[in-house]
Structure 1
C-alpha cells in the first residue's frame, strides 16, 4: 500500500490532496499514509484484504470512506477518533456480524450514509429499524431511507446521465444533425433510395468495371443485376 500511495501522490503535497484511491492494494492493515492529509475528503480502499484499520492517519476533513470488499469485523472506533467529519461510510462485503461491532460509529454525529450490504449483521432481526434507532442522524442505509424509500443519492447514481448522452458519455445519435442510427438501419429505406439514385445516374448507359465513371454509377448497375433485371440492363 505504501508503494501505491507514493505512485498516487505523484510528488504532490499531501496536505493539498482531496481524493485518494488505493483500491486492490493487498495488505492486512493500513500503512505508509502521510500524517498530513489535511484536505483529504474522499478515500477509497476497496478490495485490499484489510483485517484492521490500524495505521489510519488522522483525516480531519474526510467525508467519504469506501472500505468495501475487505475482511473487517471490528476497529470502527478508529474511525470515530480519526475521521470526525465522516458523512458516508461504505462497509459492504466485510465481516461485520453484530450490532455491537457497528456501535462505535455512534460517536460520528455527521454520519448520514451507511452501506452494510453483504455483511452478516443484516441477518439480525429487525435490522433496519435497529440501525436507524442506533444512529438517529442516519438518512441512508443501503440506498434506502428510514421508510424504505429509495434515497435521492441512489436515484442520482442510477439516472445521472444527461439528456442527449449515452451512459458512456457519448452523444446520442438521434440528437445529431442528419439521419440517426435507426434510419440507417432501415434496409427498406436504404434500398429504395440507393436504387432510385443509382438508376438515375446510369440512365440508359452500361458501365464496365474499371471504367472512368464514379463509384455510385458502378454500384447502381450492380444493384440492378442483384435485383434480377439482368436482361433489361443488357438490352
Structure 2
C-alpha cells in the first residue's frame, strides 16, 4: 500500500489537525519521499515511518508540535537539516538502520536543542571507534544514544518498549483504543474472557464426573451385596432339597 493511501485510511474521517499519533509503518513512500503527510497535521506529536523506503526528508512538512519521530529501517543517507527546519521541537529521534555513514551527517541535528534521545544503531556510523564519544561531543544536549547515556547506563523505557516516557505511551495507547492503526481492537481481552469461561466449564464437568463415579461405585457395591445374598439363599434352598431327597431314600429302604 502506498503512503498516501495509508494516511487516508489512518485518518478515518478525522480532521488532520486533531491527529496526535500517526503510524505509517511498512507502507511504500512515493519515490523515496514523504507523501500524504501535510502541514494540515498541525497537532501531530508522534510520527512513525518505519521501513517505508524513504531516501529523503526534503518533502517532510512543517510539524511544530512533533516531539517523537521514528524513521528506522529506511535508506536515508543525509539531508537531516530538514528535521531542524520542519520539526524544531523534537525530543526523540530514531534513524537506526539507515545509511548514515559519517558523524558529520549528524551535525545537522545540532539546532535541535530539545533532542534528548537519538538512536542511530545499525547505521554504518555506529561501527566507528569514536562513534559514541564523537556524538556526545557533537550533540551535548543528547542524553541517550542508542539506548544508553554517556556513562553506559541504560535509558528508562516505557511499558511498550519505546523510549519517550509516559506522555508518548499514553498517546499510543489512546491511538490504539480509538481503533486507529494496525494494532487497534480488544481481541486479547476477548480471548482472555473466553479462556476464563472454558476453565469454569472444565471444572464443572470434572466435578460432575467425580460425583457420577462416586454414585456408580455405591450402586455397584449394592449390586455386589445383593448378588451375595442371592447366592446364599440359593445355597440354603439346595441344602433343604438335598435333605428331603435323603429322607425319602431312607424311607424307601425301610419299606423294602
Q: TM-score, normalised by structure 2?
A: 0.64
Given candidates 130, 138, 141, the residue that maps to 1:126 is 130
Structure 1's 157 and 104: CA in aligned 2 closer, same or farther, altered over 3 A? Answer: same
Q: Secondary structure at the match of 1:8?
A: helix
Displacement after TM superposition at 1:202 (Å): 2.0
Show the counterpart of 1:201: 215
Match of 2:112 among 108, 115, 122: 108
Q: What is residue 11 of structure 1 aligned with on the other side? A: 13
**Residue 45 of structure 1: CA displacement?**
0.5
Higher mean alpha-carbon deviation, 148-157 vs 53-62, is at: 148-157
CA-to-aligned-CA distance 1:25-65 (integer Å, 9 cap, x gap): 22211122222221100001111111001211100000110
Residue 92 of structure 1: how far off its partner (Å): 1.0
Distance in 1 of aligned mates of 2:210 and 2:46: 61
Matched residue SS, 2:109: helix
Q: How does 1:30-179 map to 2 (within 5 A)?
A: 30-153=34-157, 157=161
1:210 equivalent in structure 2: none
Report the Cα offset of residue 80 of structure 1: 0.5
Q: Which structure's CA Rg is the greater one? A: 2
Q: CA RMSD in A?
A: 3.2
- 20, 23, 36: which one pairs with 2:22? 20
**Distance in 2 of aligned mates of 1:34 and 1:7:** 15
Tell me which moved more, 39-48 or 10-19: 10-19
User: C-alpha displacement at 1:197, in angstroms?
Assistant: 5.0
Question: 1:15 Cα deviation (Å)?
Answer: 1.3
Flag structure 1 segments of 5+ consecutive residues without an equivalent: 161-167, 185-189, 207-233
Question: What whole-Å deviation, never above 9, does each CA across 1:137-156 have from its counterpart, x for those lacking one?
Answer: 11111111111011112687
Q: In structure 1, what is the equivalent of residue 236 of structure 2?
A: none
Give the CA deviation at 1:11.
2.3
Higher relative contact order (CA 8 A, sep 6+): 2
Match of 1:221 in 2: none
Q: If each structure's helix is expressed as a fraction of its own residues, which one has the higher value?
A: 2
Alpha-carbon spacing, 1:38–1:154, altered in 2? closer, same or farther (3 Å): closer
List alignment gaps of at least 5 residues for structure 2.
167-187, 221-226, 229-256
TM-score of the superposed pair, with normalisation by structure 1? 0.69
What are the superposed Cα offsets for residues 189-227 of structure 1, whole Å, 9 maximum, x if unpaired? x9xx99975553223324xxxxxxxxxxxxxxxxxxxxx
